[in-house]
């Protein structure tokens, strides 16, 4: 981990440095493999390792389990859920995006990025990556057993670490709740942009369909005779049809611009909000693991120790056999070692939590990038849409035809549809 000299607890990273560690792409492999049970395969390419490997969802699962085994006191992002049957295209795409967020958060995480299991997952191209990952996990213990500072973690912790932990946990929970709402609104705006694109396209198609009313097929010309009472303005309908046909092209262009804006905001705004939320969720999960894992085990070890001490006192009072007393003493010493180890793990867990909290704060400026992308997308989208609308306006003159089919001057609309 990159740390300044002196206090190893402190991180010296910027968001730019963090993002520059790696950029991992996760793409669906077009063809599915397997004779009977079809499965989805992903092409995973790492910029840092200059590698391209193929992975299945279960490979990600084993990798995730290995990370949790080796780094129980770090923010390990959650994997998207597995869907056994009926995985439609929308679900598969959502899972691909989630896997991409997961592997990028892992690839940029300071301890993870320097670990051999990450390199193995991103660059091993052999037939059985799962066994390789499991073998790697069995050979080495967790981070506590391999960190040279683990036994001294308490020396680097501030005196009010428990208070800081409680405050940080509450702050991250509040930030998560707020950004969860922002993400939901951003998703709704993207959905509306895509719906708007679809409506504009249908609107344009309907204009074109109007031009085919009365035609002898889509490619034929209008051969239907006009009713006698319309013969006075016999050229009006033909002129209108020609004008409407031209406008349908403009509406198709508007639809394309609206769809592009929706897609851009989905990639640059919604996905980055989801990445940030995945990170915050991993912090919340880590806090829960700390309380339910290390602290709970420590308390159980202390409770077991107190029971043994009582048994020892009882044995002394009742003058039991020397052998049974010696066995009890040996178990007590053993339990004291367990408690000492649990206390060291508890301090190391807080040490890691302190660093993970700093890492979350390194990611916080990502929010300004997200808002900047949102504003720029809105400006660019409205600018491009406005240009098309402005280009379309002069063509409306063709819709205002005079009594002999010639374009009539466009007048400003009145309050009603007819003049009085």
Which sequence spans correspond to the domains of the chain? 15-147, 191-214+232-398
Report whether pLDDT(71) > 80.
yes
pLDDT in tens, 253-299: 999 999 999 999 999 999 999 999 999 999 999 999 888 876 556 56
Q: Which residue has the tokens 């059985």?
A: 128
pLDDT of residue 145: 85
**What letter would DSSP give residue 230?**
G
Beta bridge partners of 33: 39
pLDDT in tens, 19-61: 999 999 999 997 655 555 567 899 999 999 999 999 999 999 9
Question: Would you state the structure tokens that stand for residue 36, as one six-digit string?
Answer: 């009977």
- What average pLDDT does range 378-395 have in this prediction? 90
Longest dimension (CA), the chain: 126
Report whether pLDDT(92) > 80.
yes
d(CA 333, CA 308): 10
d(CA 28, CA 132): 23
- Give yes or no for a contact between 149 and 9, defined as CB atoms under 8 angstroms apart: no
Inter-CA distances, 63 with 28, 38, 49, 84, 120, Å: 19, 22, 17, 19, 10
Pick the more confident residue, 106 or 6. 106
- The band of 141, judged by pLDDT with boundaries at 50, 70 and 90, is confident
pLDDT of residue 1: 41
- What average pLDDT does range 394-399 have in this prediction? 75
pLDDT of residue 121: 97
- In sequence order, the 6+-apart residues with CB closer than 8 A to the CB of 139 are none
d(CA 49, CA 84): 32
d(CA 259, CA 57): 30
- Percent of the chain, pLDDT > 70? 73
Q: Out of 13-27, 60-74, 287-301, 366-380, which region has the weakest mean confidence (pLDDT)?
A: 287-301
- What average pLDDT does range 318-329 have in this prediction? 62
Beta bridge partners of 24: 46
pLDDT of residue 396: 78
- In sequence order, the 6+-apart residues with CB closer than 8 A to the CB of 411 are none
Tell me the HSE value of 23 on the side-chain side, using a 13 A CA sphere. Answer: 5
Q: Which residue has the tokens 């002898």?
A: 216
**Of the CATH numbers 1.20.1270.60, 3.40.50.300, 1.10.3720.10, 3.40.50.2300, which one belongs to the domain with range 191-214+232-398?**
1.20.1270.60
d(CA 420, CA 418): 7
Q: Out of 247-261, 314-328, 332-346, which region has the weakest mean confidence (pLDDT)?
A: 314-328
- The band of 2, judged by pLDDT with boundaries at 50, 70 and 90, is very low
- Give yes or no for a contact between 44 and 31, defined as CB atoms under 8 angstroms apart: no
Q: In what order do the strands lie in the sheet with 51-56?
A: 24-28, 41-46, 51-56
- The band of 246, judged by pLDDT with boundaries at 50, 70 and 90, is confident
Q: Mean pLDDT: which of 283-297, 342-356, 401-415 is highest?
A: 342-356
pLDDT of residue 195: 95
d(CA 20, CA 15): 8
Inter-CA distances, 220 with 142, 204, 212, 236, Å: 76, 20, 9, 19
- In sequence order, the 6+-apart residues with CB closer than 8 A to the CB of 317 are none
pLDDT of residue 402: 55
- In sequence order, the 6+-apart residues with CB closer than 8 A to the CB of 173 are 284
Q: Is 399 exposed, middle or buried (0-12, 13-18, 19+ CB in 10 A)?
A: middle
Report whether pLDDT(361) > 70.
yes
Whether 191-214+232-398 and 15-147 are alike in CATH topology: the answer is: no
pLDDT of residue 182: 96
Q: Which of 184, 369, 362 is nearest to 283 (CA)?
A: 362
pTM of the model: 0.81
pLDDT of residue 4: 42
165-171: long-range contacts, CB 8 A cutoff, minimum separation 24: 165/287, 165/350, 165/353, 168/357, 169/284, 169/287
**Architecture in CATH for domain 15-147:** 2-Layer Sandwich (3.30)
pLDDT in tens, 199-225: 999 988 887 776 665 544 333 344 556
Query: How is 232-271 classified by DSSP, letter by letter?
Result: GGTTHHHHHHHHHHHHHHHHHHHHHHHHHHHHHHIIIIIH
- In sequence order, the 6+-apart residues with CB closer than 8 A to the CB of 255 are 197, 198, 200, 201, 204
């Amino acid at each position: 981990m990159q740390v300044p000299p002196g206090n190893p607890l402190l991180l010296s990273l910027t968001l730019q440095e963090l993002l520059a560690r790696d950029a991992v792409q996760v793409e669906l492999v077009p063809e599915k493999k397997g004779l009977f049970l079809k499965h989805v395969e992903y092409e995973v390419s790492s910029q840092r390792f200059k590698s391209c490997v193929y992975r299945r969802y279960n490979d990600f699962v084993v990798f995730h389990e290995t990370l949790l085994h080796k780094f129980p006191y770090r923010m390990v992002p959650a994997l998207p859920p597995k869907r056994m049957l009926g995985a439609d295209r929308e679900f598969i795409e959502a899972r691909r995006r989630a896997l991409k967020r997961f592997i990028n958060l892992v690839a940029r995480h300071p301890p993870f990025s320097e670990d051999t299991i990450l390199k193995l997952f991103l660059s091993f191209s052999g037939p059985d990556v799962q066994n390789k990952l499991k073998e790697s996990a069995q050979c080495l213990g967790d981070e506590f057993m391999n960190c040279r500072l683990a036994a001294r973690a308490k020396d680097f912790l501030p005196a009010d670490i428990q208070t800081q932990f409680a405050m940080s946990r509450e702050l991250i929970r509040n930030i998560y709740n707020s950004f969860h709402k922002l993400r939901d609104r951003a998703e709704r705006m993207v959905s509306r942009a895509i719906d708007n694109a679809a409506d504009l396209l249908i609107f344009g198609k309907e204009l074109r369909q109007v031009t085919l009313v009365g035609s002898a097929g889509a490619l034929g010309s209008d051969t239907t005779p006009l009713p006698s009472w319309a013969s006075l303005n016999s050229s009006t309908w033909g002129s209108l049809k020609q004008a409407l046909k031209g406008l349908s092209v403009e509406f198709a262009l508007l639809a394309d611009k609206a769809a592009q804006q929706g897609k851009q905001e989905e990639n640059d705004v919604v996905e980055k909000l989801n990445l940030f939320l995945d990170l915050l969720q991993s912090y919340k999960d880590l806090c829960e693991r700390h309380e339910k894992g290390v602290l709970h085990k420590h308390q159980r070890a202390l409770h077991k120790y107190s029971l043994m001490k009582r048994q020892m006192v009882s044995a002394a009072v009742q003058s039991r056999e020397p052998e049974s007393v010696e066995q009890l003493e040996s178990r007590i010493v053993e339990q004291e070692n367990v408690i000492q180890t649990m206390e060291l793990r508890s301090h190391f867990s807080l040490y890691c939590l302190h660093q993970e909290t700093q890492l979350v704060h390194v990611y916080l400026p990502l929010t300004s990038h997200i808002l900047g992308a949102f504003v720029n997308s809105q400006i660019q989208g409205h600018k491009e849409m406005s240009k098309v609308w402005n280009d379309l306006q002069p063509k409306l003159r063709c819709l205002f035809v005079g009594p002999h089919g010639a374009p009539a001057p466009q007048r400003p609309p009145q309050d009603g549809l007819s003049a009085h």
